[in-house]
Structure 1
Amino acid sequence: MKNILLCIVTIITLSFLTTNAQGRKVSQSYETYEYTAITCRSHSASITDFGGVGDGKTLNTKAFQSAVDHLSQYSSDDATLLAAQDLEEYPVLKALPSYGRGRDAAGGRFASLVFGTNLSDVIITGNNGTIDGQGSFWWQKFHGGKLKYTRPYLIELMFSDTIQISNITLIDSPSWNIHPVYSSNILVKGVTIIAPVKSPNTDGINPDSCTNTRIEDCYIISGDDCVAVKSGWDEYGIAFGMPTKHLIIRRLTCVSPYSAAIALGSEMSGGIEDVRAEDITAYQTESGVRIKTAVGRGAFVRNVYVRGMSLHTMKWVFWMTGNYKAHADSHYDPHALPEITGINYRDIVAENVSMAGRLEGISGDPFTGICISNATISMAVKHKKAIWMCSDVEGVTSGVDPKPCDLLDGKQSEKMDGGCEFPSDVLEIDNVELKSCSYQNVT
């Protein structure tokens, strides 16, 4: 399946919908399709009506593009879309302006399988439908150093507003799975993402310089961070200056032995603020919530609130890194120091843990305002000798076992009487509700 360019389409639905056949005592018959959406649709199109063939072999690029152009809403229950394994099927785009280069290579990037820019009211939803990126084709080329451009993602939407991605399964993405960037008012709900745990850079969901995003009820097994929050890279992200803010992550289940359940950074040079994560479950995952930054990133990660983590077999529960040294190029500003402050964790239970915390700030630029409360950590039989490792950090703790490092023994404030802070106000994106929708298709 060729990359899908949606540059001028303002409303699109790619759906895998529940089908209920209804007989009629007339010459025409109807099928009723039901789905949930932010806004209900009144038009539909099937790729089979445009010459599509569902045999798993036929290249349906033209049929699928034609259906999308017709505001596609139908692709049959339990359908699987297979990504093409032909480089010529993926146009090459310029690097993102907040990154200055591709992530895999210095050049541009292959367009994503499902791609759109400057859209409004976008719905990608389904019931038991699957998008298969057939990523092994790309992983082999990546490992072999045979790619001139960054691998495609499965879904990328740029400069867009009011986006819903729900009730679909994404497997074996060439790289990142879902990448909303420079966008706002985004709902990602009920999505299953699966990739081999050793597949390269198969992040699950990457909100990037986005405002008002809600990620909930998602299940992710991946070779990289399950949710990776980003906002641009070094001097390019600083110049672009678009933060990710007002982000909700709830009821996330993650398996990622070599990465984090939730990562903030490392590309965070536009800033990250007001992140609210709760009810996070992770199994055999390297860390719970990880902050990744470095000298040259600039900007900030601030006002992060996490409560209710259940962690099973972890390398680290708490991990902050101020020496993440991957840079876009050699032109970054060594005086651009990131501000990491206001990081709150509460109500955490973790078992079979190798090290409770590894918190490494930046010399001369400490990470401040760290708060950890009501955290019970059971160490693995063969845990690290150092249970906590801290440098260049400042914070407070309450009700944490095993006892944290001395740098987190700051004076407790009255606000900690009920534990570390978690906001009580309601973000705008949390007021968005899905409607029950249906339509009839004449057959």
Structure 2
Amino acid sequence: MNLLYLGSTSVCLELENHNPYYSAEEYGVSLDGAKLYSANTNVFSVFDLKPDTEYQVKVSMASGSEETVSFRTKTETCCVNVKDFGAAGDGVHEDTAAIQTAINMLPEGGRLYFPEGTYRTLPLTLKSHTTLDLSENAVLQAIPDRDRYPIIPAFTVDPVTEKEVPFAGFEGLEIPCYQSFLHASYAEDIAVVGKGTINGGGKEGGWWVDFKSFPAARGRMVFVNRCKDVTLHGITIENSPSWNLHPYFSENFSVYGCTVRAPKDSPNTDAIDPESCDGVNIIGCLLTVGDDCIAVKSGKIDMAKKYKTPADHHVIRNCLMQFGHGAVTLGSELAAGIRNLSVTQCYFEGTDRGLRIKSRRGRGKDSVITNVLFDNIRMDGVLTPLVVNMWYNCVDPDRYTEYVWSREKLPVDDRTPSMGSLAFKNMECTNAEVAACYIDGLPESPVEAVTLENIHISFAEDAKPGKPSMKNFAEDCCKMGLYLDNVKQIRIKNVTLDGVVGEKLIVDHCDSLETEGFDGE
């Protein structure tokens, strides 16, 4: 077993196997010889532990095998009950002042404990070296009164040094934003843990209607700006005003065993969108939202030129992603580049697209994607499992201009993005509908290389037509095979497709094509 997270009162563990998200068999979890519960996922947690205490967790498989791990929980300086600061937790009274005062007063290394109850509050600011511990049936409930939410400036200017001090951003731009529900800036060593829930009141607060007319960008559920060592463990997050978790220019941001939920029709409620971060771990999470489940970003071109901070060292593993536009997406705000990313042992269910990379002209020369691996993925009911789209039609003001959509080979300049080598391996995809794989590079900047290896994709009998990618003039298709255009090198090995209508392989503008064990040969 892997020990993913160890705090003062909780631990998160991971079974070592090759099964996406679910264990091959059910197992029991015992603590010091007493059975706690049964589970069937590769990642599991134990809560309500005592600080600085030795424990032993045993996993007993249905087949009879057992595995044990021993550990000592971390120490803490103190535990403070939020009700001792006057929080009512009755779902009626406002608890903002009580909670924020408790956070401010909490000693370094302390834990703020929320017993069962509903705590109505406005946005809260977290501070370094503290833990928020939400017990089972504890709910942090956002008050749906947008006029009382502070607006955070994109940056201020230091009157002494005349240097900018950045504070806020959204969708790849430095712009003013409403304060996010849980907000941290220039902080470190923060944890939010427990079996409780954070509810952002997205619908009740009117955040999902006419939001483009707001005086500032919507806040997120959790926003951390230029922070280090931030961990979320076990909590449930639901009904965010927009993106749920948004680490921004931060280091070592980890999410273990969390659930993120939003209605399928809620706008821009991406589950986890790390932007220009170094060291992100998303492991053992259930993500079901109204947009991308995970979208890795590094800003639009102006921000990339200014900070030159790529997304780096991201690990996504053993997650279940449902019903979003894309399960794991790179971009489209990726102007500073994305590198050293792996997505493994994940299960995608009912998303429009599975593994999705989206870019476009105008993202810039630093928009380079390198060392990206997608491996051991299971998909069911994903309309188009694999998409690489360098013609993305996003909400930028020039989205409908000829520069964006022209199929001519344009001159390469400072605005031209690039796509390095991409590897898609060991995938089982059932009940696809639109296309098996749709990869469309730019004529002036083709995708460097694509490897498709050990992949089986089958289509639903009642598949309906749709657009495989979001680009200008996209045409509907249904049960399309592998489509690759403007890719320099293509390697297809041990790939089988069932239920394709038409050719199984459509390739154009390719320098090198190698196939082995492909049933479309």
Q: Same fold (TM over 0.5)?
A: yes
| Separation in structure 2 between the aligned mates of residue 172 and residue 370 of structure 1, nearest angstrom | 37
Measured after TM superposition, the shift of residue 255 of structure 1 is 0.6
Q: CA deviation at 1:172?
A: 0.6
Kept in 2, the 8 Å contact 1:271–1:301? The answer is yes
Counterpart contact for 1:37–1:123, Cα < 8 Å: no
Shift, 1:102, TM fit: 4.7
CA contact (8 A) 2:185 2:224 kept: yes
Distance in 2 separating the partners of 1:14 and 1:59:
29
Q: How does 1:172-251 map to 2 (within 5 A)?
A: 172-251=239-318
CA distance in 2, matches of 1:330, 1:316: 27
CA deviation map 1:64-85 (0-9, x unaligned): 1011113342112220000111
The answer to whether the 8 A contact 1:361-1:392 is kept is yes
1:89 is matched with: 148
The Cα of 1:410 is off from its aligned counterpart by 3.2
For the pair 1:65 / 2:100, whether they are aligned, the reply is: yes
Between the two proteins, what is the percent identity of the paired residues? 26
Q: State the distance in 2 between where 1:309 and 1:225 align.
A: 17
If asked which structure has higher relative contact order (CA below 8 Å, sep 6+), I would say: 1
Using structure 1 for the length normalisation, give the TM-score.
Answer: 0.80
1:74 corresponds to which letter in structure 2?
Y
Q: Which moved more, 1:354-363 or 1:379-388?
A: 379-388
Q: Does 1:51 align with 2:145?
A: no
Structure 2 counterpart of 1:364, which letter? E
CA gap of 1:273–1:363, structure 2 versus 1, over 3 A, is: same
Is residue 363 of structure 1 aligned with residue 452 of structure 2? no
What pairs up with 1:273-312 in 2 under 5 angstroms? 273-298=339-364, 299-312=367-380
**CA deviation vs aligned residue, 1:34-77 (integer Å, no higher than 9, x gap):** 47999542222222111111111211110110111133421122
User: Secondary structure of 1:223's partner?
Assistant: coil
List alignment gaps of at least 5 residues for structure 1.
1-12, 18-31, 418-443
Give the 3 Å change call, closer, same or farther, for CA 82–121 of structure 1 in structure 2.
Answer: same
Which residues in structure 2 correspond to 1:20-419 (within 5 Å)? 34=50, 40-71=75-106, 72-76=111-115, 77-78=135-136, 79-95=138-154, 102-103=170-171, 108-126=176-194, 128-139=195-206, 142-143=209-210, 145-257=212-324, 259-298=325-364, 299-326=367-394, 335-354=414-433, 355-383=435-463, 384-394=478-488, 395-402=490-497, 403-407=504-508, 410-412=512-514
Tell me how far 1:89 sits from its aligned partner.
Answer: 3.1
**Unaligned residue ranges in structure 2 (runs of 5+):** 1-6, 12-47, 52-70, 116-134, 156-164, 404-411, 464-477, 498-503
TM-score (norm 2): 0.68
Match of 1:428 in 2: none
Q: What is the Cα deviation at residue 99 of structure 1?
A: 11
1:160–1:210 distance in 2 versus 1, CA, 3 Å: same
CA contact (8 A) 2:8 2:74 kept: no
Distance 2:166 2:299 in 1: 5
Secondary structure of 2:480's partner? coil
Aligned residues: 387
2:128 is matched with which residue? none
Counterpart residue identity of residue 324, structure 1: Y
**Letter in structure 2 aligned against 1:410:** S
Q: Mark the CA change 1:116 to 1:315 in structure 2 (over 3 Å): closer, same or farther.
A: same
